[in-house]
Structure 1
Amino acid sequence: MSRTDAPPAPDERAIALAMLRYVRETALEKAEGLTDELAHATPLPTSPLMSVAAVVNHLRWIEHYWVEVVVAGGDDRAPWSEEHPDGEFEVAAQMTLDDVLTGYRQQIAASDAVLADLDLDAATARPRRDFHPNVRWVVAHLVEETARHNGHLDVLRELADGQVGD
């Protein structure tokens, strides 16, 4: 995979979507090549659900929520609930890494289809707690969320097999 954060054009939309694409590709790259055993390892004693597979599955469902639910107004199909607020982490333990990566790639394609023709200034279909975000805010939030979790993936990957990267 050849990751780049260079946008295809110098406008704000192209830059924002290039950054989102870059952090997504980084997450995928950090997970690829691990065995299922290493992808499901949970080496952090204070975070017993945190594995490479679980973090990538979390990214999948966070993106589903923000794009398909908040932006587009669709149903929330994520595996979390009041009884299982970390459901996306829990179900990842039962999935192969290939299934987790395929699910994330499918979510990326679904999100890209929703975002393709939306103006960054467009209001989302649903408000969020105390404010009503626009599409720009959601894209920026997804970049921030994914980049933050890429830091977790850096640590987990290094602990799993010693691989480090940018």
Structure 2
Amino acid sequence: MTVVSRPPLTSDERTQLTGWLDLQRSFVRMKCAGLGEEDAHRKLLPTSPLMTMAGLVAHLRWNEYSWFQLNLMGVPDTGQTPWTEDGHPDAEMFVDDVPLAQLLDEYDAECARSNETIAGLSLDEVEKGPYVAKGEAASLRYILCHMIEETARHLGHLDIIRELLDGTTSYTKAPE
């Protein structure tokens, strides 16, 4: 995914929501650019050992799947997700043996699938999945707002981890 532009200042609600989400999504690959496998999987936070560059990319990928496929569309989980009934709640972040390039490609593919899934839906469409929070189904509008927040929050984590790894900050390239 290449870095996209901000949505137009006066565009409609759907263009704003999907545009901001796509912009945040595009920064994920940018934050990982030039990173070696060892650094992508390096555990820098003793109290949060799953919070690695690779772990966060995997987490974002599975959040896309969870919100747009499982929750919104009601696609049944037939064992394709990393979660199990008695498993670790952050099982999606156990990716020490998965190359970063693969995780990024899976994330990009999941984002594209999410966009295809919602393309023809109204922003008022509500969740069909069995994971409806507190008995109240969320609208696509809510899900898009949440995914903007979720992606942007984890981009902040990626920013910090990347700076700790090699000094790369904000929207700059890694030091030569």
Question: For this structure pair, what is the TM-score category when the shorter chain's length is used for normalisation?
Answer: over 0.9
Query: Which residues of 2 match residues 108-127 of structure 1 at below 5 A?
Result: 108-126=111-129
Structure 2 residue 147 is matched with structure 1 residue 142: yes
Q: TM-score, normalised by structure 2?
A: 0.88
Q: Which amino acid aligns with 1:119?
A: S
Structure 2 residue 82 is matched with structure 1 residue 79: yes
Q: From the superposition, tell whether residues 37 and 117 of structure 1 become closer, same or farther in structure 2 (CA, over 3 Å).
A: same
Per-residue Cα deviation, 1:53-78 (whole angstroms, up to 9, x for no partner): 10010000011000011111112332
Report sequence identity in percent: 37
- Provide the residue aligned with 2:105 in structure 1: 102
RMSD: 1.5
Q: Which runs of 5+ in 2 are unaligned?
A: 172-176
CA distance in 2, matches of 1:7, 1:72: 29
Q: TM-score, normalised by structure 1?
A: 0.93
Q: Which runs of 5+ in 1 are unaligned?
A: none
Deviation at 1:9, TM superposition (A): 6.4
Count residues with an aligned counterpart: 165
- Provide the residue aligned with 2:174 in structure 1: none
Deviation at 1:84, TM superposition (A): 2.0
Q: Which amino acid aligns with 1:80?
A: W
CA distance in 1, matches of 2:128, 2:26: 27
Residue 95 of structure 1 aligns to a residue whose secondary structure is coil
- Provide the residue aligned with 2:170 in structure 1: 165
Does the Cα contact within 8 Å between 2:3 and 2:23 map onto a contact in 1? no
CA distance in 2, matches of 1:43, 1:100: 19
